[in-house]
Copies of this chain bind each other. A is one copy, B any other.
Amino acid sequence: MAILQKSIDKRNALIKATIELVNNAGFHATPMSKIAKMANVSPATIYLYFENKQDLVNKTYIEVKAEYTKYAFESYDENMSVEQGFEIIWKRIADFKLNDSENAMFLAQCDNTPMIDELSRQEGIKHLQPLLDLWARGKKEGIIKPISDYLLYAYAINPLSFLMMSQKRGAIILDRKHIEEAYQSAWNSIKTCDQ
């Protein structure tokens, strides 16, 4: 029996429980015993799948990040025009934050706290490469402002995180109508002005 035979279902249940509990209480206020209970598993079993608590949360982060970017780039292909590509990616990201807000909130918490190891954080960033490539192309073609990727991200993508958090806290702001509105703001802030 090799490692591969350990139940992938149990592993997934552990990841899922981690996300839900960390969202509600934060990493350090979430005991391993609770994670185990929610995943219907003994606490000791967690250590068959993960080295320790830190490893569990690091791996959870990387998996959620991968899922997020996979979803974001699913319907994008590199032959699209810059404008069309951006719209498709942006709207997929908005969808993700709306429909899969448990996962999205988890990422927001990871990105704003010292809860994740620096190494895993950097690992997570790599998944965004297709978007950075698209922006590079857009800048070359003169369609996207020649400013740093950080500024582009700050004004075009990150606002969605704030909207998601507001949504989660009771504001109703991410329905169909507002998405279109928000998309226009996003595009306006990164496209070159003389278009």
- Residues of A at the B interface (CB closer than 8 Å) are 23-29, 108-109, 111-115, 147-148, 150-151, 153-155, 158-163, 165-166, 171, 173, 178, 181-182, 185-186, 188-190
In the A-B complex, list the 8 residue pairs whose CB atoms are closest, starting with the nearest.
Answer: A28-B28, A154-B159, A112-B112, A158-B162, A154-B162, A185-B189, A150-B173, A189-B189
Taking CB atoms, residues of chain B closer than 8 Å to A108 are 112
B28 touching A147, Cβ below 8 Å? no
Beta-carbon contact of B114 and A112 below 8 Å:
no
Query: Which of A111, A154, A185, A188 has the most CB atoms of chain B within a 10 A radius of its CB?
Result: A154
Query: In chain B, what residue has the closest Cβ to A125?
Result: B169
Bound-complex Cα distance A166 to B154 (A): 10
Q: CB distance B163 to A159 under 8 Å?
A: no
How far in angstroms is the closest Cβ of chain B from A117?
Answer: 13
Main secondary structure of the interface of A (DSSP, over half): helix
Q: Which of A111, A171, A185, A190 has most B Cβ within 10 Å?
A: A185
Copies in the complex: 2
The CB with the most chain B CB atoms within 10 A, among A27, A108, A148, A171, is that of A148
Q: In whole Å, how far is A97's beta carbon from the nearest beta carbon of chain B? A: 12
Residues of B within 8 A of A162 (CB): 150, 153-154, 158
Once A151-B185, A165-B112 are accepted as A-B contacts, the answer to whether A27 and B25 lie under 8 Å apart by CB is no
Taking a contact as CB atoms under 8 Å apart, the answer to whether A114 and B154 are in contact is: no
Query: Taking each of A26, A158, A171, A181, which has the highest tally of chain B beta carbons within 10 Å of its own beta carbon?
Result: A158
Q: In the assembled complex, how far is the CB of residue A146 from the closest CB belonging to chain B, in whole angstroms? A: 10
Given contacts A162-B153, A162-B158, contact A148 B28 (CB under 8 A): no
